[in-house]
Chain A
Amino acid sequence: MRYSDDHVLLHSQRETQITRFRAWVLFVVPLAAILFQVYVPLFFQFLAYLELPLIVTVYFALMRRSPISGLFVGALVGLAQDSLSKNPLGMFGITKTIIGYVAASVGLRLDVDHPLIRLILGFLFFVFHQFIFWALSRGLLGQTMNFETQRTLVLGVLNAIVAVSLFHFLDKLKERG
C-alpha cells in the first residue's frame, strides 16, 4: 500500500469517527456558555476572561470533524455573543466562524481525544481567536487597541486548562452507538 493510500485510509477513518450529539445538547450547551459569560462575571469578575463560547465552539467543531458544520456552529455562537455585546453584529461571528472551520479541519487530522492535544489546541485557538478579533477591530472598526501579548498568553493557558476539563465533561454528552 502506498503512502497516499494510507493517508486516504486514515482520512476516511477519521471522517467515519464523526461524533454525534443530541439536538438539545447542541442548543443548550452553547446557550449555557453564553449565559455563563453574561451572568457569572457579575459576581466573580475574574471569570469574565473565560471564553466559554469559544471553548464550546472548538469542542463541537473538533468532535464533529465537519468544516461546514464547524463554521456554522461558530457563526451562530458568535452572532449570539455579538447580540449580547456592545460590538457591532459580526465581530465575534466572523471570528468564531473562522475558528470553527479551522478547528474542524484540525479535527480531521489529529487525535483530538488526547488531553495534551486538547490542551495545546485550547491554547492555540484562544490566542488565534483574540488575534483575529483584534485584527478585525483595528481593520474594520478602526479601533486603536493594542494586542496585549503577555496577557493573551496567560489567559490562553487558563482557558486551555478549563477547556480540557470541560471537554472531558462534554464527552459524556456524546450520543452512544
Chain B
Amino acid sequence: METLLSRYRNVTVLLLVIFAQLVLLAYQVKNDSDVRLIRVWAVTAVTPLARTLEGARGGTTGFLQNYVVLRDTRAENQKLRTELGKLKLENQFLKTELSTADRAKALEAFEAHTPSKMVGARVIATAAGGSNTAVFVDRGSTSGVQKGMAVVTPDGIVGKVLAAYPTASQVLLVTDPSFAAGVVSQKNHVRGILKGMGHGNCRVDYVQNEEKVETAEWFYTSGDDRIFPKGMPAGQVTSARPGSPFQEISVEPSGMANGLEEVLIILEGVHQEIPDIKTAAVPIYLAPQPPNTGEAPVKTGPAGAPNGNQGLATDADRMREHYKELGDAQNHKFGENPPGTKAMDFNLPPKPTPPAPKATPSDPASPPQ
C-alpha cells in the first residue's frame, strides 16, 4: 500500500487537492453561501494596494502630461520657463480639482435631488477572471453597504452589490449575463426584465410581440425587483424587433455612458414616478403683426348679421351671436327664465340695422369734403 502511494504520489496529491476544492465548491453551491473569510482576506489585502495605485495614477497622470508640455515650452522660451511651468502646473492642478469637484458636485446634486439615501463610492478595481462585468468600489460594510443594494450614477443604473466586505464591495454591472432588473418603458409603460449580455448592450426580455416599443424610447426601473427604486433611468432602446416568443429589444445602458469612476450606492431607496415624455418644443414661425394703417378691422361676422362681429370665425360662434340677438330683441335672458315662462321665438327675422347718421359739415369728426 505504501509503495503504491509513493509510486503514485503526485497523482494522489493532485486528486486530494482537487477533491478538497470540489468539496469547497459543493458547499457554496449547495448552501448558496460564500466562504466569506477567504474573500474578506483577499479583498482586504488587495484594496489598499488598488487604492494606492489609483491615487498614484490620479496624481501622476496630470503631472506627467504637464511635464511634457513644460519641456516643450522651456525649449521655446527659456526666460519664461519657470513661471510658465508653475502656471501650467497650477492650471492643471486646478483643472483636475475642478473636474473632480464637478463630478463630485454632480453626484452631490443628484444625491440631494433624489429622495433615496445614498453613499458615494469610487471604482478601484475590476473582478478577476477576464470579464469586465464586475468591479470593486471603495465602500464596504463599514459605510453601511450591504449585499443586494443598488448602484447608480446620475445617468442611470450601474449594477448591484454582489458582496460587501469591510473596506470594499463587489458590484455586478448591468452588462453581466447574470444581472436582471425590472424595467418599464417610458412611453407605453411596457414592462420587462433588463438583462446583461456580457458586452456593452443589454436586452429587455419577456415583452410580448403585441406591445409597442419604439427605438430611442427610454426604459426606467419599475421597482418590481425590490433592488432598484422605481423611476431610475435604465437605458435607451437601440433596436426592437419581433422575436419568438418575445420581442428582441436591445438597450444601451445609460448608467455607464460617461465612464465608471464614481458611483452612488443606494442605502435606502425611495420610489419615484417615471417622468412624463416631454414633447419636443418645435418652434413655429409667427409672422410679425401687420403695421397699424388706420383702416377699420375686417368684420368677419355672419353675412346676414346686422352688425357683423369681429372674430366670429366658426358656425357655432355665429349661431350663438344670432340667438343672443334674438334673446335681446325679446328681452329673454338665457338661463334665467323660470319654468312656465313664455318660450322664446327663434323664428323672428333679425332686426334691421339702423342706418348710420350722415355726417354734417359742422361735425368736427367728419372729414373735409
Q: Which residues of B contact A97 (CB under 8 A)?
A: 14, 17-18, 21
List the one stretch of B100-108, B129-137, B361-369 in contact with chain A.
Answer: B129-137
Q: Which of B129, B132, B172 is within 8 Å of A45, CB to CB? A: B132
B125 within 8 A of A: yes
Q: Contacts A84-B43, A88-B29: A48 and B17 contacting too (C-beta < 8 A)? A: no
B25 within 8 A of A: yes
Q: Secondary structure of the A side of the interface? A: helix
Q: Which residues of A contact B13 (CB under 8 A)?
A: 67-68, 71
**What total of chain A residues lie within 8 Å of the partner, measured CB to CB?**
42
The answer to whether A48 touches B130, judged by C-beta atoms less than 8 angstroms apart, is yes
In chain B, what residue has the closest Cβ to A75? B17
The answer to whether A67 touches B10, judged by C-beta atoms less than 8 angstroms apart, is yes
Q: A134: shortest Cβ distance to chain B, in Å?
A: 12
A12 within 8 A of B: no
Q: A50: shortest Cβ distance to chain B, in Å?
A: 8
Per-residue CB contact flags for chain A residues 67-92 toward chain B (1 = under 8 Å, else 0) read 11001100100011111111111111
**What total of chain B residues lie within 8 Å of the partner, measured CB to CB?**
44
The answer to whether B128 touches A93, judged by C-beta atoms less than 8 angstroms apart, is no
A53 within 8 A of B: yes
- Alpha-carbon separation in the docked complex, A14 to B55 (Å): 46
The answer to whether A83 touches B42, judged by C-beta atoms less than 8 angstroms apart, is yes
List the one stretch of A33-41, A56-64, A114-122, A161-169 in contact with chain B.
Answer: A33-41
The answer to whether A94 touches B132, judged by C-beta atoms less than 8 angstroms apart, is no
Q: Contacts A37-B130, A48-B130, A85-B134: A80 and B21 contacting too (C-beta < 8 A)? A: no
Residues of A at under 8 Å CB distance from B?
34-35, 37-39, 41-43, 45, 48-51, 53, 67-68, 71-72, 75, 79-94, 97-98, 101, 105, 140-141, 145
5 closest Cβ contacts across the A-B interface? A83-B42, A90-B25, A85-B129, A90-B21, A38-B125
Residues of B at under 8 Å CB distance from A?
9-10, 13-14, 17-18, 21-22, 24-25, 28-29, 34-35, 38-39, 41-43, 46, 49-50, 53-54, 57, 123-136, 162, 170, 172, 176-177
Beyond A38-B127, A41-B126, A105-B10, 12 additional pairs, beta carbon < 8 A: A35-B49, A35-B50, A80-B42, A82-B128, A83-B41, A85-B134, A86-B162, A88-B25, A90-B22, A94-B18, A97-B14, A101-B10
